[in-house]
């Protein structure tokens, strides 16, 4: 009788607990990716089956901008992404709202990728007065937002000196072409597309598109970001995912010309229109922990200026995990 009772207890209570503890990790990584040049490393990995080569299945979810990736990462739905490609700025918005993002790798650096795009007829120059009262398109809580705030500080203007229009990059490009805004802070391919599409419209074909960048203001660093919970659930898969990205890095370095050509076609650009992006970007899979903490600290302080209730943690270590990339290649990590 006692043996029978023990078997029943095992079946009802003990065996399910053991099975749950030993349940295998999910075998698929879902990646939220921006359909822009900044996602070059992850797109090449997907294009050339490097995820398959690393023995991991990866499905790609396309999102229009960093804030959309953030919202997707916050979700715990079965269809939500495991990780995403986003810059530091959207990541700090998660930290500031007491979310738990975790940066596990960096895939791109660029000092020239964020650009102020306008038309010659708007007469926007380095003179602060030329920006006063102008309608400026921004994607709030992403790289364009912090870049423009630093630009305003440099020329001694306040946010209230301009009219900010928030929107997705593609929408801002269209607003600029329709003369609904005077300038927009954009990046590849949207800045380049403005110059091409302006020539096709009667109202803008005779107006010169002016694209400027101050490389001293901001360094774009694109990261692979997950969350604390999703990292626990998918650690082994994410290690394989990062390994696949190292294959992609090597392929890009050895086939830069064909990669650029493929990307120009994908983005609907003419041959050579990615020259500036390719020349001034570094496509490496690594994780510089001190530098990443510097970027996080700087942008959290920036966010605190406009959002007084933003949470600023005393220790940023929980938001960076270099151990996964170390499993792939310790030399790729700087601590």
Task: Give the pLDDT confidence of 7-18 residue by residue, as tens digits.
Answer: 544 444 454 444
Q: Which has the closest alpha carbon to 113: 69, 147, 164? A: 147
Kindly tell me if the per-residue pLDDT of 23 is higher than 90.
Answer: no
What average pLDDT does the structure give for the chain?
91
Convert the pLDDT of each residue in 248-289 to its tens digit: 999 999 999 999 999 999 998 999 999 999 999 999 999 999
Kindly tell me if the per-residue pLDDT of 19 is higher than 60.
Answer: no
CA angle 56, 325, 19 (to 5 degrees): 55
Question: Does residue 250 lie within any of the structural domains?
Answer: yes
Q: Are 176 and 137 in contact (CB under 8 A)?
A: yes
> Alpha-carbon distance 55 to 52, whole Å?
5
pLDDT value at residue 26? 53
Two structure tokens written together for 312: 């600023």
Q: Are 58 and 51 in contact (CB under 8 A)?
A: yes
Q: Which helix (H) or strand (E) holds 224?
A: strand 220-227
**Are 199 and 230 within one domain?**
no
Arithmetic mean of pLDDT, 279-302: 96
pLDDT value at residue 4? 58
73 — pLDDT class (breaks 50, 70, 90): very high
- Number of domains present in the structure of the chain: 2
Arithmetic mean of pLDDT, 110-123: 94
pLDDT value at residue 306? 85
127 — pLDDT class (breaks 50, 70, 90): confident
86 — pLDDT class (breaks 50, 70, 90): very high
Question: Does residue 4 lie within any of the structural domains?
Answer: no
pLDDT value at residue 21? 46
- pTM as predicted: 0.88
CA 226 to chain centre: 12
> Alpha-carbon distance 137 to 117, whole Å?
10
**Are 299 and 151 within one domain?**
no
Question: Does residue 173 lie within any of the structural domains?
Answer: yes
pLDDT value at residue 200? 80
pLDDT value at residue 203? 73
Q: What is the β-pairing status of strands 163-166 and 135-138?
A: parallel
> Alpha-carbon distance 82 to 68, whole Å?
14
Convert the pLDDT of each residue in 42-70 to its tens digit: 999 999 999 999 999 999 999 988 999 99
pLDDT value at residue 17? 46
Instruction: Return the CATH number at 135.
Output: 3.40.190.10
**Are 172 and 245 within one domain?**
no
Domain, as residue range, for 290: 27-109+219-334
> Alpha-carbon distance 248 to 333, whole Å?
18
Of 187, 212, 237, which residue constitutes the final position of a domain?
Answer: 212
| Percent of the chain residues topping a pLDDT of 70 | 92
pLDDT value at residue 198? 87
């Amino acid at each position: 009788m006692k043996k029978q009772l023990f078997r029943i207890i095992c079946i009802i209570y003990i065996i399910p607990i053991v099975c749950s503890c030993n349940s295998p990790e999910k075998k698929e990584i879902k990646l939220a990716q921006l359909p822009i040049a900044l996602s070059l490393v992850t797109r090449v990995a997907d294009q050339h089956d490097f995820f398959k080569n690393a023995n991991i299945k990866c499905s790609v979810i396309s999102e229009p901008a960093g804030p959309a990736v953030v919202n997707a990462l916050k979700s715990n739905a079965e269809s939500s992404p495991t990780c995403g490609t986003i810059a530091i700025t959207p990541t700090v918005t998660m930290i500031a709202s007491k979310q738990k993002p975790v940066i596990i790798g960096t895939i791109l650096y660029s000092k020239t990728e964020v650009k102020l795009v306008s038309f010659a007829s708007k007469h926007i120059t380095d003179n602060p007065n030329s920006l006063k009262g102008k309608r400026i398109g921004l994607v709030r809580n992403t790289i364009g937002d912090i870049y423009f705030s630093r630009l305003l500080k440099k020329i001694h203007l306040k946010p209230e000196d301009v009219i900010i229009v928030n929107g997705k990059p593609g929408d801002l490009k269209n607003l600029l072409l329709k003369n609904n805004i005077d300038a927009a802070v954009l990046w590849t391919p949207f800045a380049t597309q403005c110059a091409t599409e302006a020539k096709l419209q009667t109202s803008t074909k005779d107006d010169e598109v002016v694209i400027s960048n101050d490389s001293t203001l901001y360094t774009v660093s694109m990261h692979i970001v997950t969350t604390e919970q999703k990292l626990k659930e998918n650690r082994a898969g994410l290690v394989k995912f990062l390994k696949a990205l190292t294959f992609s890095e090597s392929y890009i370095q050895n086939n830069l010309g064909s990669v650029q050509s493929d990307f120009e076609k994908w983005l609907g650009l003419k041959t050579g229109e990615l020259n500036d992006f390719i020349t001034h970007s570094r496509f490496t899979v690594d994780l510089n922990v001190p530098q990443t903490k510097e970027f996080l600290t700087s942008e959290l302080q920036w966010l605190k200026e406009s959002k007084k209730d933003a949470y600023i943690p005393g220790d940023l270590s929980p938001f960076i995990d270099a151990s996964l990339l170390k499993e792939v290649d310790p030399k790729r990590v700087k601590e």
